[in-house]
Amino acid sequence: MRHGIASLLIITLLFTACATAPAPQPGQTTKPANLKDWMAVQSRARRKALAGAIIGGLVGAATAQLTGASSDEVVKRALVGAVAGAVAGFAIGKHQDEVFASRDLAIRQAGYDNSQGYVARVEKVMFLEANQKPGMTAKLYVRYLIVGPDPNEAIRIRMFRGLKYGEDYVFGVGPNEFVVQKGGGIVESTIEITLPKKAPEGTYSVEALLEDAQGRFPQASGTGPLYIIANAKPRGGIVTAAR
């Protein structure tokens, strides 16, 4: 009976893996237009990798059956591929959003009037400590402004955050949603990010992108710098900064 369950599980996983793997598109090298698009590409790639991992796990499960392994061992080998490809390196901690200033101040700061409809802009993007070392946990800070024509409206904002190294995105998180009450205001948002222990040193660009789920205003984005410096290395018993 358990042998039959294991076989059914293998068949089901194999069918699911084939169904969820996206169709290959040879030669497609179009660069993502923005952070959100890049994250969508990464999501599809992860699904494809997961499907491959599951199929690899099924090969191990089939081998286990052929070699007379127990049903428990067969199921274990079939499932092990499903956890492969988890996000490695960057780790995300708690995030917090709060209204820093009211709609009236946002209106004055943006020079806003109702004829503009909805206005959103990212005013500041930065790590609270600009110089970071691999493996450290740092707070990414974003301040943004949103105003709408109705002073009683609750405006739902979606935010994506990410890092670029050179011209290429290397990390992204989101969307995180926040509802700005009373027709808008200025919002401060923070999120904790742990950098990979093997992150290359150099200058990175940190980016925040805002959008409205209903598409009532264009996407708004802002950037800031992040400097990753090498960990201190012992030299002759004395700790010195690596250069």
Q: Is the pTM of this model over 0.85?
A: no
Average pLDDT, the chain: 75
pLDDT score of 24: 45
What digits encode the pLDDT tens for the residues 147-203? 999 999 999 999 999 999 888 898 899 899 999 999 999 999 999 999 888 888 899
pLDDT band with cut points at 50, 70 and 90 for residue 98: very high
Does residue 74 sit in helix, strand or coil?
helix
Does residue 216 sit in helix, strand or coil?
coil
Residue 66 pLDDT greater than 80, yes or no: no
How long a stretch of residues is the chain? 243
For the chain, where are the alpha helices, taking DSSP H only?
A: 2-20, 35-66, 71-80, 103-110
Residue 3 pLDDT greater than 80, yes or no: no
Residue 80 pLDDT greater than 50, yes or no: no
What tokens appear for 199 in the block? Answer: 């992150």
**For tokens 């009532």, what's the residue?**
216
pLDDT score of 90: 79
Task: Tell me how far apart the alpha carbons of residues 19 and 14 are, in angstroms, rounded to a whole number.
Answer: 9
Task: Tell me how far apart the alpha carbons of residues 115 and 149 are, in angstroms, rounded to a whole number.
Answer: 8
What b/e readout covers 19-50, taking b as 16+ CB neighbours within 10 angstroms? Answer: eebeeeeeeeeeeeeebbebbeeeeeeeebeb
pLDDT score of 181: 95
Of 32-36, 43-47, 103-107, 169-173, which one has max mean pLDDT?
Answer: 103-107
Portion of the chain with pLDDT greater than 70, in percent = 63
What digits encode the pLDDT tens for the residues 17-38? 444 334 445 555 677 888 888 8
More confident residue, 226 or 86: 226
pLDDT score of 160: 95
Provide the 8-state DSSP code for 237: T
Residue 138 pLDDT greater than 80, yes or no: yes
